[in-house]
Amino acid sequence: MRFWLSTCLLAALSAPVMAQSDDSLFISKMADEILTSGKSYENLRVLCKTVGGRLAGSPQKVKAEQWGLETLKAAGADRVYLQECMVPHWTRGGKDQAWYSYTDASGKQVKVALDVLALGNSQGTGKNGVKAPVVYCANFDDLEKQKDNIKGKIVFFNHPFNEKFLQPFRAYGEAGVYRRSGPSRAAKYGAVAVVIRSLSGSTDNNPHTGATQYDSAYPKIPCAAMGLKDADKLSALLQEGKKIDLFYQSNAHFLPDTIGHNVIGEIKGSEFPNDYITVGGHLDSWDPAEGAQDDGAGCVHSIEVLRVFKQLGYAPKHSIRIVLFADEENGGRGGEAYAAAAKQNNENHLFALESDAGGFTPRGFGFSMSAEQLAKIQPWVKLLLPYGVYQFTMGGGGSDIGPLHQQLKTPVCGLVPDGNRYFDLHHARNDVFENVNKRELELGAANMAGLIYLIDKYGL
């Protein structure tokens, strides 16, 4: 019986195995090209070192759009263009400043400099800054307990990453609410400013910025993030019962919304030119660094998919659109504009893939589509296994392709690289080119090219 079963299985498996052998050869050819003559690493160097940080609305973002057009053209795109959208224009307005002071055991006044970054989209303090006593809040429950003691104070939210979460993205999700909602929650009880523990599990002291969201029901109070060592130190002093005054000064402010662009490069489909597969990352990045992992990596990943197709003379059946989105970090307007245009033009979108979790060694892809669709493509995992991807999981996508999924029901997917180092760099000044490994970056592109090739060839 065992012999019979194994013979049946062998017969059943033979046809797909043969077909997959051609696929495996072509994916290997793409990986060879990317690993030996790839352009993703050099493209990223140019973006990081000649443009640097490029928040929506900034002059650097305009420069980055030019880089995107030229790089997509050089990669061989049939057509390269800009897609206009209005974007927010927030600016830090110079260096954020902070210090705190307290009286030590000997009665001496101690003043400690604090390395902070204003949260993105936050309101500055004016040039005189704000100075007030600090109230420690471990979390929102703690804030509620102390609500009568918040007025006129600066609230310090010190919610750490949960180290037990095996996926740092889960820790980010849980702690992220203090960055997004902390300022308005504290403003509700009369706080004059908020400082938070950075959303990171790093071992250094870099502060991590990132967008906050004000609730229009309450005053828009200034808010900033500090590094983890500073947060531990400040927290320890407060737990000891020290009375601490904190000074914070920031020139952060909004300018009027301005024009930004998604940068798009296309290969026209050989069989279904009006059916689109989107591959993208976001071009905007926070101002304190170079946006190397977040999300320069995703941009050069995506461009490399197009380049390798062209370089190897592969003519996809469907139109492939590489999109470098305009404004993921503090507005999401690029992704909204892309979906709106797709809807308006009655475009048929087969699939969308985003890389926005860094250029680290790939481990998988996460999909938002039907269980049947996921089951159909599961066997492809073994084709990508040599390049590091060992699982396709349900759930995932990307901020910029979210509107496409919501509005056009497009199946979407996100590259899942190793996540252990992402939040050491994310939105912090060490997110620079030097902290990207060439082969890790290239393997991300190789797996993305493999997946897009298979989806283009077999559909969903």
Residues in contact with a second copy by the rule CB under 8 A: 31-32, 35-36, 41, 163-164, 166, 168, 201, 203, 361, 386-387, 390-391, 418, 420-421, 424, 437-440, 443
| Shortest distance, position 10 Cβ to a second copy, whole Å | 19
CA–CA distance, 157 with 136 (Å, rounded to integer) = 7
Pick 96 or 290: Cβ nearer a second copy: 290
CA–CA distance, 366 with 357 (Å, rounded to integer) = 11
| Shortest distance, position 294 Cβ to a second copy, whole Å | 17
Of 459, 444, 317, whose CA–CA distance to 44 is shortest?
A: 444
Nearest-5° Cα angle at 351, 349 to 355:
125
User: Which of the residues 33, 65, 304, 328 is marked catalytic?
Assistant: 328
CB 168 within 8 A of CB 419: yes
CA–CA distance, 344 with 153 (Å, rounded to integer) = 49
CA–CA distance, 82 with 278 (Å, rounded to integer) = 15
Pick 66 or 420: Cβ nearer a second copy: 420
Residue 388: φ, ψ to 5°: 110, -20
| Shortest distance, position 15 Cβ to a second copy, whole Å | 22
CA–CA distance, 29 with 198 (Å, rounded to integer) = 42
Classify residue 36 as exposed, middle or buried by CB count within 10 Å of its CB (0-12, 13-18, 19+): exposed
| Shortest distance, position 168 Cβ to a second copy, whole Å | 7
Pick 106 or 203: Cβ nearer a second copy: 203
| Shortest distance, position 25 Cβ to a second copy, whole Å | 14
Annotated catalytic residue 144: no
CB 59 within 8 A of CB 52: no
Pick 165 or 254: Cβ nearer a second copy: 165
CA–CA distance, 388 with 362 (Å, rounded to integer) = 6
CA–CA distance, 194 with 273 (Å, rounded to integer) = 51
| Shortest distance, position 139 Cβ to a second copy, whole Å | 18
Catalytic residues: 328
